[in-house]
């Protein structure tokens, strides 16, 4: 399968660097666009969806970031491959083979573009750390280059038109994946989520809408796409993220000052379990990785790199494991393979002593 090479890829958003990478895992911006003279994908004929696909795939040849990119049509994919791409944050649950969905994956998975999801085009840029402005520059350039060859639905009063009214205007959703173990430990997270909600942002768990906040990881994104420019939306989001980062940093300092032994105990026990378990679920892995990540970020564990933690984070997911094994696995076999993968990563992925 042509997407299999991704399995060995370490996407740049997993390198664990970039600004504030001790707290912010990644930043992502996506833009929704639709082409004039066509219905939205859900109300199109099969033939028109094919036309959209052709228009977009020829359009990308005029862009820097998606020229010669990998084009994957969902119709040819197994369920496992589809789940695999979802786990890599390259496609959404809504991108479906029934609707002739496709995804175009740029070099190193930084830039990608879904065709015939809810909208004709959904492009995204994802990067490590708090990198909203870099993401914006890249996606804005892609959008501008595409716009020269594709005739977007655009209203002078409303902005870009989208299938769901909640995306009309900029069509932009910017989100930050953020690790907040100290705020969770100090039981301040509820208050923070409430405050962030009042400021017009959405807070979600790791796997998007409705998912629980496994591994103390949260996704924070803008709710409204209308009435403000992209730069204003991004500025407002980044300001709030920076405030949350300060709260989390203070929380971590308090932990180090007042409860060092308890924190170390938690971190080393997580390491001990990850290195020694023979069976481990993805849910438990996320929880233990949260402690491990905190250990790396606090300087308690200095032989493990953030990139190792992030690789385990992605590669221990069910579809990744099954792609690795080359076949579908029962949950117990998955838990066993996950355990051995983690052990291998934690011994080979260590920084030199």
Instruction: Give the residues across from 122 on adjacent strands.
Output: 32, 114
- Tokens encoding 142: 């892609």
Total residues contacting its own copies by CB under 8 A comes to 18
93 touches its own copies by CB under 8 A: no
Does an H or E element contain 108, and which? Answer: none
Binding its own copies (rule: CB under 8 A), the pick from 183, 277, 309, 321 is 277
- Tokens encoding 95: 């991108």
Burial class (CB in 10 A: 0-12, 13-18, 19+), 24: buried
Helix (H, G, I), strand (E, B) or coil at 178: strand
105 vs 135: CA distance, rounded Å? 16
Shorter beta-carbon distance to its own copies: residue 241 or 341? 341
Shorter beta-carbon distance to its own copies: residue 8 or 278? 278
Q: How far is CA 331 from CA 186, 278, 328, in A?
A: 34, 13, 10
Binding its own copies (rule: CB under 8 A), the pick from 73, 305, 336, 350 is 336
353 touches its own copies by CB under 8 A: no
43 touches its own copies by CB under 8 A: no
174 touches its own copies by CB under 8 A: no
Shorter beta-carbon distance to its own copies: residue 41 or 295? 295
261 touches its own copies by CB under 8 A: yes
57 vs 338: CA distance, rounded Å? 37
Shorter beta-carbon distance to its own copies: residue 247 or 338? 338
303 touches its own copies by CB under 8 A: no
- The β-bridge relationship of strands 121-128 and 111-115 is antiparallel
Binding its own copies (rule: CB under 8 A), the pick from 265, 283, 325, 328 is 265
Shorter beta-carbon distance to its own copies: residue 330 or 348? 330
Binding its own copies (rule: CB under 8 A), the pick from 55, 134, 256, 279 is 279
184 vs 253: CA distance, rounded Å? 14
283 touches its own copies by CB under 8 A: no
- Tokens encoding 310: 């992030």
Rounded to a whole number of angstroms, the minimum distance from the CB of residue 338 to its own copies is 12
Shorter beta-carbon distance to its own copies: residue 24 or 274? 274
- 8 A C-beta contact, residue 154 and residue 137: no
For the window 220-259, what string marks contact with its own copies as x by the rule CB under 8 A? ----------------------------------------
Give residues with Cβ within 8 angstroms of 119, minimum separation 6. Answer: 32, 33, 34, 40, 41, 162, 163, 167, 171
Which residues in this chain contact its own copies in the complex, by CB under 8 A?
261-262, 264-265, 268-269, 271-279, 332, 336, 339
């Amino acid at each position: 399968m042509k997407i299999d090479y991704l399995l060995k890829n370490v996407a740049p958003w997993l390198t664990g660097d970039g600004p504030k990478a001790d707290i912010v895992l990644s930043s992502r911006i996506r833009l929704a666009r639709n082409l004039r003279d066509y219905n939205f994908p859900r109300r199109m004929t099969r033939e028109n969806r094919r036309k959209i696909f052709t228009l977009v795939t020829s359009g990308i040849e005029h862009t820097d970031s998606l020229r010669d990119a990998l084009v994957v049509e969902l119709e040819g994919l197994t369920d496992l491959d589809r789940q695999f791409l979802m786990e890599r944050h390259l496609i959404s649950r809504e991108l479906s083979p029934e609707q002739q969905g496709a995804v175009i994956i740029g070099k190193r998975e930084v830039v990608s573009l879904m065709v015939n999801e809810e909208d004709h085009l959904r492009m995204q840029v994802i990067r490590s750390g708090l990198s909203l402005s870099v993401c914006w520059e890249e996606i804005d350039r892609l959008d501008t280059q595409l716009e020269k060859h594709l005739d977007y639905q655009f209203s002078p009063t409303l902005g870009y038109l989208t299938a769901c009214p909640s995306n009309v205007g900029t069509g932009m959703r910017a989100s930050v994946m953020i690790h907040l173990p100290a705020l969770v430990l100090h039981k301040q997270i509820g208050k923070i989520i409430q405050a962030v909600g009042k400021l017009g942002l959405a807070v979600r768990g790791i796997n998007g809408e409705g998912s629980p906040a496994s591994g103390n990881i949260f996704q924070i994104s803008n709710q409204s796409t209308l009435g403000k420019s992209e730069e204003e939306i991004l500025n407002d989001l980044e300001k709030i993220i920076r405030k949350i980062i300060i709260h989390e940093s203070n929380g971590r300092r308090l932990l180090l000052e007042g409860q060092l032994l308890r924190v170390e105990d938690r971190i080393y026990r997580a390491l001990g379990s990850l290195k020694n378990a023979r069976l481990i679920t993805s849910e438990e892995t996320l929880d233990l990785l949260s402690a491990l990540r905190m250990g790396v970020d606090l300087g308690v564990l200095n032989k493990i790199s953030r990139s190792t933690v992030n690789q385990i984070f992605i590669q221990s997911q069910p579809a990744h494991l099954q792609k690795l094994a080359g076949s579908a696995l029962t949950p117990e076999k998955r838990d066993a393979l996950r355990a051995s993968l983690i052990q291998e990563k934690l011994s080979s992925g260590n920084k030199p002593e």
